Amino acid sequence: MKKYAYIRVSSKDQNIDRQVLAMEGIGLVKKQMIIDYQTGKDFNRQNYRKLVKKLKD
């Protein structure tokens, strides 16, 4: 089974480091992490859509 992590912050000013460290702590590597820098109100986020597509394939 493939594993992915979805990491999102609302703006580029916010920091993803804690989320990345937490995912590394459970054994994931960067290429398994899908990262978006957009508001959570909009599901049209580019990398979110890529993740959904990966999960459907």
Give the active site residues. 10
- How many other β-carbons are positioned within 10 Å of the β-carbon of residue 42? 9
Which DSSP category does 38 fall into? Answer: S
User: Token match 């580029």: residue?
Assistant: 12
CA within 13 Å, CB half, 43: 2
